[in-house]
Amino acid sequence: MSPERHSKTSLSAVLLDLDDTLYPESDFVRGGFHASAELLAKRLSRDADELFGLLMDKFQRGIRGSVFNAVLFEMQVPRDPELIEELVRAYRSHEPQLKLFPDAEWLLPILGPRYGLGILTDGPAEVQRRKVKALGLQHRVEAIVYSDDFGREQWKPSPIPYLELLRRLHIEPSHAVYVGDNPKKDFVGARRLGLQTVRVRRPNTEHTHAEPQPGFEADHEITSLKDLPIWLSANTRSERHAA
């Protein structure tokens, strides 16, 4: 954890990451693999549950971006780019059944009356919009920015989506904090803009054990969003829309 960079200042907005910050991303992954396994089962005349198990096994072993290729290779199925594309489409287009982490469900109504609330999330925009809809977050925060709307090159840590979210909330960077989970990209761009940053390091999530490179740390680290109001009270004077 890096030293605190900010003295006590007015804070008007809390900006939130989505995946593994507000809900368990593994739930989306399971739903996507179920959809892909059903499609693959029809194509190969195999058991869908067996195929789902193979997909999850590869994912849990740390394979990312080539899970479908790995499963088809293990099953000795000839390389088929069209089939891979269909499996990816099934994964991304399924209607997810998602729930917020209990601490996120608890946090949002507490922060809402005191701070501007926004969400900034990476990933294919249509997929992320489907997640937000499933979670009902479009009704619970003031603004949501999908970095993919600006192009893949503007995903975090690009400053563009952060600045857009701040613009929509009418907040200056020095009056905002970004809360995320991924030290590879969530904090370095935010800190360069002058935002405060908080990492929520949850047990058993994708980036639980990821250690940041120098300069990529968050200003503060917590293990539950229930700790966030305590940190906000200790480190800031809340003056909603003070900027």
Token pair 């809360």 in the structure block, residue = 179
Residues 210 and 121 occupy one common structural domain: yes
φ/ψ (deg, to 5) at 100 = -65, 150
Residue 3 lies in a domain: no
**Distances, alpha carbon 95 to alpha carbons 34, 171, 224, in Å:** 11, 34, 28
Residues 155 and 56 occupy one common structural domain: no
Structural domain that includes position 49: 26-93
Is residue 3 predicted with pLDDT exceeding 70?
no
Q: Which domain-ending residue is among 37, 58, 93?
A: 93
Residues 166 and 222 occupy one common structural domain: yes
Residue 243 lies in a domain: no
Q: What is the pLDDT of residues 149-194, one digit of tens each?
A: 999 999 999 999 999 999 999 999 999 999 999 999 999 999 999 9
Residues 153 and 138 occupy one common structural domain: yes
C-alpha–C-alpha distance, residues 52 and 47, integer Å: 9
Number of separate domains in the chain: 2
Residues 152 and 232 occupy one common structural domain: yes
φ/ψ (deg, to 5) at 104 = -70, -40
Q: What is the pLDDT of residues 57-83, one digit of tens each?
A: 999 999 998 999 999 999 999 989 999
Specify the pTM. 0.90
Residue 147 lies in a domain: yes
C-alpha–C-alpha distance, residues 7 and 33, integer Å: 46
At residue 6, the pLDDT reads 46
Q: What is the pLDDT of residues 27-40, one digit of tens each?
A: 999 999 999 999 99
Closest CA to 237 of 11, 1, 4, 2: 11
Residues 38 and 156 occupy one common structural domain: no
Residues 19 and 33 occupy one common structural domain: no
